[in-house]
Amino acid sequence: MRKIKIILASASERRKEILGLTGLEFSIEESGVEEEMPAGMPPGRLARLLSGQKAAAVAAREKDAIIIAADTFIIINGRYLGKAHDRAEAGSMLRALSGRSHLVITGYTVMDSSSGRRISATSSTKVYFRRFGKEEIDSYVKTGEPIGKAGAYAIQGLGAALVRKIEGDFFNVVGLPLSALLVTLKKFGIRVL
């Protein structure tokens, strides 16, 4: 029987923590793929494309493994928000999100590098922010938490103070829709329960 090597194609500590909740043994390998968001592509398709590129990049280096890759971004009024790269960008994103709802979309791909078989899917969660002003935004941005996060917040951290409610999978907002991923992994012979 084939011993299944599982690789999480991500440098995200949050994704590592979420997958770790399963008890599965896995290793980490960054894909090295630069995330580009082509204009005009539907959100679900874009999320699947980006996660698929990451999985394929790692699969090209690892010939006998199950690769898990994901990509998360936010949509508000048809505008895509990726990761905040600096304080100014984080502040701008948070001002746009204050008092409004937005959609968090995570595309994920599971790929068997030995057979080339892959399944890509998306998960969406609606997040409602309470209204907050410049002082709170500046204070939050100074913590450094928003940098490198999609939409400039971490719902599992201090960013939870900005959230009024969510509709959907909490783990999806963090970066890996665990329940949906586990259903997909079963199709590759990997069971947790």
Residues labelled catalytic: 71
Q: Determine whether 81 is exposed, middle or buried from the number of CB atoms within 10 Å of its CB (0-12, 13-18, 19+).
A: buried
Q: Alpha-carbon distance 113 to 131, whole Å?
A: 46
Q: Alpha-carbon distance 23 to 117, whole Å?
A: 24
Q: Alpha-carbon distance 117 to 48, whole Å?
A: 15
Q: What is the DSSP letter of 159?
A: G
CA 42, distance to chain mean position in Å, is 17
